[in-house]
């Protein structure tokens, strides 16, 4: 069976939403409380992919995981920072897909010129903690009782990772659309084969 990584498209929105929706409905991993419509989710993907990488992992023709970067904060000085997110279809947890997706995502973020990545997870989440530690994230701190879902308060732990060198005069950030298709093809092929 073919394993591949590629850029997400708006046409993938329903398949990606099938992965994400149970995290909304059944867990406090996502703090959303209502599953977005397919159109709303398509709009999100379109907005993200104008600037940031949003990648999917396919086995055959089925999307089984995805990862993306998004705006960390709106103020101009945060330009070099991103938040990162990753979701895997439950039957594929522990398969190495998250490692491949995150490895590929961080390679892309480095190529684009980003310097820092931030991630958060709702406590407790040992799988997420171990994945982020594997990629060199370090603890920033915990927001205590910051989210209310399913009739209880939840703590959220924040982590950070340095991606690129913090030069005094950093180059400008590139948009994902400025990366050459050849580079993307090679990167996706490399990370699809790993492990």
The pLDDT tens digits of the residues spanning 113-126 come to 999 999 999 999 99
194 pLDDT exceeds 70? no
What is the average per-residue pLDDT within 42-58?
96
Residue 25 has pLDDT above 80, yes or no: yes
* CB of 70 closer than 8 Å to CB of 120: no
The confidence band for 108, taking pLDDT boundaries of 50, 70 and 90, is very high
Which tops the pLDDT comparison, 65 or 165?
A: 65
Cα–Cα distance between 186 and 181 in angstroms, integer? 9
Three-state DSSP state, 97: helix
pLDDT at residue 195, rounded to an integer: 55
Could you tell me where the beta strands, DSSP code E, fall in the chain?
A: 3-7, 54-59, 62-71, 81-88, 116-122, 138-149, 152-162
> How confident is the model at residue 48, as a pLDDT?
96
In the chain the domains, ranked by start, together with CATH numbers, are 3-114+170-193 (3.40.630.30)
User: What mean pLDDT is predicted for residues 171-183?
Assistant: 93
């Amino acid at each position: 069976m073919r394993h591949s990584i590629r850029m997400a498209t708006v046409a993938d929105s329903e398949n990606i939403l099938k992965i994400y929706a149970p995290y909304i409905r059944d867990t406090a991993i996502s703090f959303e409380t209502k599953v977005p419509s397919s159109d709303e989710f398509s709009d999100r993907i379109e907005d993200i992919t104008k600037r940031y990488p949003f990648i999917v992992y396919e086995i055959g023709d089925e999307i089984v995981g995805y990862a993306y970067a998004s705006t960390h904060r709106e103020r101009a000085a945060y330009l070099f920072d991103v938040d990162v997110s990753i979701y895997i279809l439950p039957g594929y947890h522990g398969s190495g897909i998250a490692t491949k997706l995150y490895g590929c995502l961080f390679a892309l973020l480095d190529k684009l010129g980003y310097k820092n990545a931030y991630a958060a997870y709702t406590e407790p989440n040992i799988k997420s903690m171990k994945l982020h530690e594997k990629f060199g994230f370090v603890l920033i701190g915990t927001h205590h009782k910051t989210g209310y879902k399913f009739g209880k308060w939840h703590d959220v732990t924040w982590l950070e990772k340095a991606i690129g060198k913090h030069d005094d005069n950093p180059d400008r950030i590139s948009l994902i659309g400025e990366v050459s298709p050849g580079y993307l093809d090679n990167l996706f092929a490399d990370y699809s084969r790993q492990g």
